[in-house]
A and B are shown apart, each in its own frame.
Chain A
Amino acid sequence: MHSDCVAELAGVSKKFGKIVALDGLDLEVRRGELFAVLGPNGAGKSTAISILLGLRRPDAGSVSVFGESPQNLSARRNVGVMMQEVALAQELRVHEQIDLAASYYPGPLSVAEVLELTHTTPLRDRPYGKLSAGQKRQTQFAVAVCGRPKLLFLDEPTVGLDIQARETMWNVLRRLVAQGCSIVLTTHYLEEVEALADRVAVLARGRVIASGTVSEIRAHVVRKHIGCRTTVAVEEVRSWPGVESVAGDPQRMQITASNAEDVVRRLLAADAELEALEVRRAGLSEAFAELTQETIQ
């Protein structure tokens, strides 16, 4: 176990009837990091998070949050939660939702501080039931952070948010991490992971199939994308070794290659007038697709 570990699943298995949701899963969340948990639908993300939150008990393996069982109230007093499928009390106003959630914690922020931190002051007196989907997510975020959590679980936090609200939430998350808060993020928005995550775990079939920094996950895919304007014919480039695909025309050629450096050298040798050369690594989404596809196959 890492010395800065704040939450851990060790060899956790969980079955629902005959369906294996988690199959000896190991996960570790470290202090002051944003840890993203990715995986296709049914990979076991929700089950893993619900066990870390103390909502479910594992069939086998161990779970600890701040060295305790998440069933213990003292462990959960360090935890903030934003779930995806939840409806807060429709009749309560935003400031009342925060006041109620804050009452569960020993040293929470004041309601005014939470409203300012999460940029929800304009929503203060609005009944939750009359908020838009994005405003409801902002309120749920405010509820999640009101207790000064040391560990924050966020499930699809930016669904329904406009670009400005999303940027605002990202900034708050960066600030929380800088202050030592650990965040566990589950999302389908991979650009969110690329922008925020310190570490990533990719789950499939109840196991971790890859983990590391975003760059390390991207490195699972060796192919790169090359863009250029050239006089070399598309058919010729397509015949070179390592070239997987060529799209466009010589004026705007897009090459995907497993040995980009060799292809670039060959392009420069063949065309001294080559212009607008651009080499791009595979994105996280490509790496994610490839990793999960390999596992499913």
Chain B
Amino acid sequence: MSAATLEMKHEQAVTRAMPGRRLFGAYFTEAKYETIRMLRTPAFAIPFLALPVALYLLLGVLLFGAALRSDPNGAIFAFVGFDVFGVMGPGIFGFGVVVALEREQGLLALKRAMPMPPSAYLAAKLCMAMLFGVIVTASMITAALTLGHLPLSAGQCFTLTALNVLGALPFCAIGLFIGTRTSGKAAPAIGNIIYLAMIYLSSIMFPLPKSMQASAVIWPAYHQAQLTFRALSAPSQGSAWVHLAVLAGVTVVFTALSVRRLSREG
């Protein structure tokens, strides 16, 4: 390589507008390396991908499968519970813990100081969470069709996949909110508290006592589960529009609060 090719060419680099193709390339490259990072840390990814289907197979098929087969709605309840559980994890932990760690390690500040397109960082992580949602859905559908004896039509499988991919958004927003406000050490603990509280209090896994049932509506997991019941033609509560509005509202509010925080303080 000649010395000339190494010239920094400052005079030539006067125009600093980013052509559209390069701007798209920046988003694509960020998402590509985010995916590569996750693939190179299987210890982080596998629990989120394998745990929902493993628990579904253990509890919904092996231990209580016979009882659930005699009650189709019970079988769907078990499936939906672990399906929503699988959608929540990558969003809350993938965003919450990873963003908190990267803030703490100064990586986020470096990216903010460099001319990274402002939403490329979030878009890359969002793509990862959605990809996780697709993998979780595919594994859950496969388990339900083969071992769970749950009759799902092709249309239901498609709707479920779309619902899970979009359903990752509110949980990513909550995770992002945790990640922008906690340290790397505190984020897993805070994430776990919210994750476990939501699993129980949204009644996606266990029916709540009557006195607490009304409070389930405050949790996005409840609304995600109701939409999933509808997609699987099972009995559900409330209006689909209300569920969609709540999930969209959670996404917008928590994302806006987090982005504001990131742009001001990192």
Q: Which of A81-89, A156-164, A191-199, A239-247 contacts B (4 or more CB under 8 A)?
A: A81-89
Our pick among B5, B18, B29 for the contact of A113 (Cβ within 8 Å) is B5
Residue numbers in B under 8 Å from A109 (CB-CB): 6, 8
A-B contact count (CB 8 A): 111
Residue numbers in B under 8 Å from A54 (CB-CB): 112-113
A150 at the interface (CB under 8 A from B): yes
CB distance from B35 to the nearest CB of A (A): 11
| Closest partner residue, chain B, to A73 (CB atom) | B115
A287 at the interface (CB under 8 A from B): no
Q: Is B10 touching A100 in the complex (CB atoms < 8 A)?
A: no
Residue numbers in B under 8 Å from A92 (CB-CB): 33, 36-37
A125 at the interface (CB under 8 A from B): no
Residue numbers in A under 8 Å from B115 (CB-CB): 73, 76-77, 79, 104-105, 147
Residue numbers in A under 8 Å from B153 (CB-CB): none
Our pick among A55, A77, A103, A112 for the contact of B30 (Cβ within 8 Å) is A103
Residue numbers in A under 8 Å from B105 (CB-CB): 86-87
Q: Is A87 touching B113 in the complex (CB atoms < 8 A)?
A: no
Interface SS of A by simple majority: loop
CA distance A148 to B12 in the complex (A): 10
B240 at the interface (CB under 8 A from A): no
CB distance from B42 to the nearest CB of A (A): 11
CA distance A74 to B15 in the complex (A): 9
CB distance from A286 to the nearest CB of B (A): 33
Q: Is B113 touching A79 in the complex (CB atoms < 8 A)?
A: yes
Residue numbers in A under 8 Å from B10 (CB-CB): 148, 150, 179-181
| Closest partner residue, chain A, to B110 (CB atom) | A86
CB distance from B169 to the nearest CB of A (A): 24
Residue numbers in B under 8 Å from A74 (CB-CB): 16-17
CA distance A105 to B23 in the complex (A): 9
A176 at the interface (CB under 8 A from B): yes
B3-14 Cβ-contact flags toward A at 8 Å (1 or 0):
001111111110
Q: Is A91 touching B17 in the complex (CB atoms < 8 A)?
A: no
Our pick among A79, A89, A117, A147 for the contact of B33 (Cβ within 8 Å) is A89
Residue numbers in A under 8 Å from B264 (CB-CB): 57
A101 at the interface (CB under 8 A from B): yes
| Closest partner residue, chain A, to B5 (CB atom) | A113
Q: Is B9 touching A148 in the complex (CB atoms < 8 A)?
A: yes
Q: Is B8 touching A181 in the complex (CB atoms < 8 A)?
A: yes
A112-139 Cβ-contact flags toward B at 8 Å (1 or 0):
1100110000000000000000000000
Q: Is A106 touching B33 in the complex (CB atoms < 8 A)?
A: no
B253 at the interface (CB under 8 A from A): no
- Size of chain A's interface in residues, with CB distance under 8 A? 43
| Closest partner residue, chain A, to B32 (CB atom) | A100
CB distance from B142 to the nearest CB of A (A): 29
Residue numbers in B under 8 Å from A179 (CB-CB): 7-8, 10
| Closest partner residue, chain B, to A89 (CB atom) | B37
A107 at the interface (CB under 8 A from B): yes
Q: Is B8 touching A148 in the complex (CB atoms < 8 A)?
A: yes
Centre residue among A105, A109, A147 by max chain B CB count within 10 A: A105
Residue numbers in B under 8 Å from A100 (CB-CB): 29-30, 33
B210 at the interface (CB under 8 A from A): no
Q: Is A73 touching B117 in the complex (CB atoms < 8 A)?
A: yes
A55-66 Cβ-contact flags toward B at 8 Å (1 or 0):
101000000000
Q: Is B22 touching A106 in the complex (CB atoms < 8 A)?
A: yes
Q: Tell me the residues in window 48-96 of chain B with beta carbons closer than 8 Å to chain A beta carbons.
A: none
Residue numbers in B under 8 Å from A76 (CB-CB): 113-115
CA distance A103 to B23 in the complex (A): 8
Q: Is A83 touching B113 in the complex (CB atoms < 8 A)?
A: yes
CA distance A88 to B29 in the complex (A): 16
A28 at the interface (CB under 8 A from B): no
A53 at the interface (CB under 8 A from B): yes
Q: Is B26 touching A104 in the complex (CB atoms < 8 A)?
A: yes
CB distance from B163 to the nearest CB of A (A): 31
Those 6 A-B pairs whose CB atoms lie nearest each other, nearest first: A86-B106, A103-B29, A87-B105, A77-B16, A76-B115, A53-B113
9 examples of A-B residue contacts, CB within 8 angstroms: A73-B117, A78-B16, A91-B37, A91-B40, A104-B116, A104-B117, A106-B18, A113-B1, A176-B8
Chain B positions near chain A (C-beta within 8 angstroms): 1, 5-13, 15-19, 22, 25-26, 29-30, 33, 36-37, 40-41, 105-107, 109-110, 112-118, 264, 266
